[in-house]
Amino acid sequence: MAVPLQSPSPCDNKMSCDSLWWGADLVTLRDGRYSIIENGAIAVKDGKILWIGPYAQCPDFDAAQRTDFGGGIITPGFIDCHTHLVFGGDRSGEFEQRLNGVSYADIAAQGGGILSTVNATREATQQQLIDQAAFRLQPLLAEGVTCVEIKSGYGLSVESELKMLQAIRALGSTQQVEVKATCLAAHAIPPEYQGRADDYIDLICETLLPQVAAASLADAVDAFCEHLAFSPQQVERVFNKAKSLGLPVKLHAEQLSALHGSTLAARHAALSADHLEYATESDVQAMAASGTVAVLLPGAYYLLRETQCPPIALFRRHGVAMALASDANPGTSPALSLRLMLNMACTLFRMTPEEALAGITYHGAKALGLQQTHGSLEINKVADFVHWPLARPAELVYWLGGQLPCTVIYRGEIRL
């Protein structure tokens, strides 16, 4: 039987969305540039950006929720693509000892340094690790972080590395932030493997990583390539195993010396090579060829009073994407502010404010393999963005310290 045609009601001509936001300049960070849309509008549906453009060109959306910001700027949600936020204890006592003149050697002889964090992490329950990391996460969330990577690497045993990764996964399911987990078991040589680093690499490759992959506990695998940690040959074994399990890789490389870990990382199509103070032009060329992101960590540079800057000019010349991160960790970068990292990257490394902001948005997403879904304000990307009552994006870099007021929209809804 034929169904009579009905003329559509007026509403049927309207596109519908869940929420519409306007009245601010949109700093889209498309392709890692400011790419500003003045007086823009964003329509959100099902947690994603349905439409974005100048408010004057905005279709007549049927929106359940409408927000006029009445000025200011909107940036993508911030991405902290390199942190060690899960750990037991802290090292503020050591920090004070060092400033009172106690040497690194004496602190290490007292059981300090990374081993004190390893011991505290092993002793902590999973819930204690979750609670302490949640506490440290709050300052990052308050300043607009919507995606954070967290590494294991203080357990250094199968049981404790799994406990850390489970804690990281639990944070992802309980906190209002996208959490990416990275297995950094090859962070340091555990005390019971001193002088037997290859045996520890065996444990990582043959026992730990297969369990991590089977339980989907990590999104990537990282290692520390340095004289005081693991050689390029040992790192390569970890990388080969990770790739055989379908896990992408990244690497702490060239922080204190030039072992060409970043070239090794590039050869394995790593998502990122991180630190890079001692990277050479050939390393940078290799990274450019593989599309490996340079993750720069000014907090550690500052706290260690380093003097060798990462080769920013070479990254620019060869077109290597530069990301920025807090490297939040108990020893070398107890940093709980990405905005402070923006300022440090510009003052210490002489990055431009535009490069720095791209480093915690578009290029931060790329360092996590998330550039298709996160890091810029574009149609179909996840609706993670932040409204700031500021006149221009450089203000995010300029104000030193303190908390700027902001409204965080996470997956399309205001995060309280």
Q: Which residues bind Zn ion (CB under 5 A)?
A: 327
Q: Which residue is nearest to Zn ion (CB)?
A: 327
Query: In the complex with Zn ion, which residue's Cβ is closer, 143 or 327?
Result: 327
Q: Taking the complex as a whole, how short is the minimal distance between the CB of residue 152 and Zn ion, in angstroms?
A: 11
Q: Max Cα separation, the chain?
A: 92
Residue 331 marked in a binding site: yes
Residue 154 marked in a binding site: yes
Pairing of strands 293-296, 322-324: parallel
Query: In the complex with Zn ion, which residue's Cβ is closer, 226 or 283?
Result: 226
Stated as kind and residue range, the H or E segment containing 261 is: helix 261-267
> How far, rounded to the nearest angstrom, does the alpha carbon of residue 236 sit from its chain's CA centroid?
23
Query: In the complex with Zn ion, which residue's Cβ is closer, 296 or 382?
Result: 296
Contact 300, 343 (CB under 8 A): no
First to last CA, the chain: 53
Q: Taking the complex as a whole, how short is the minimal distance between the CB of residue 252 and Zn ion, in angstroms?
A: 5
**Whole-angstrom distance, CA of residue 39 vs CA of residue 26:** 7
**Whole-angstrom distance, CA of residue 6 vs CA of residue 344:** 63
Query: In the complex with Zn ion, which residue's Cβ is closer, 277 or 327?
Result: 327
The residue assigned the tokens 């444990």 is 203
The angle at the Cα of 116, spanning 112 to 122, to the nearest 5 degrees, equals: 170
Q: Taking the complex as a whole, how short is the minimal distance between the CB of residue 324 and Zn ion, in angstroms?
A: 13
Query: In the complex with Zn ion, which residue's Cβ is closer, 226 or 327?
Result: 327
What residues are paired with 87 via a beta bridge?
Answer: none
Residue 55 marked in a binding site: no
Q: Taking the complex as a whole, how short is the minimal distance between the CB of residue 327 and Zn ion, in angstroms?
A: 5
Residue 332 marked in a binding site: yes
Residue 363 marked in a binding site: no
CA distances from 281 to 159, 260, 285 (A): 40, 10, 6
Query: In the complex with Zn ion, which residue's Cβ is closer, 49 or 259?
Result: 259
Q: Taking the complex as a whole, how short is the minimal distance between the CB of residue 138 and Zn ion, in angstroms?
A: 21
**Whole-angstrom distance, CA of residue 196 vs CA of residue 300:** 28
Residue 60 marked in a binding site: no
The residue assigned the tokens 């011991």 is 119
Q: Taking the complex as a whole, how short is the minimal distance between the CB of residue 359 and Zn ion, in angstroms?
A: 16
Residue 194 marked in a binding site: no
| Residue ranges at the known binding site for Fe(3+) | 82, 84, 252, 327
Query: Binding site for 4-imidazolone-5-propanoate: which residues?
Result: 91, 154, 187, 255, 332
Annotated binding-site ranges for Zn(2+): 82, 84, 252, 327
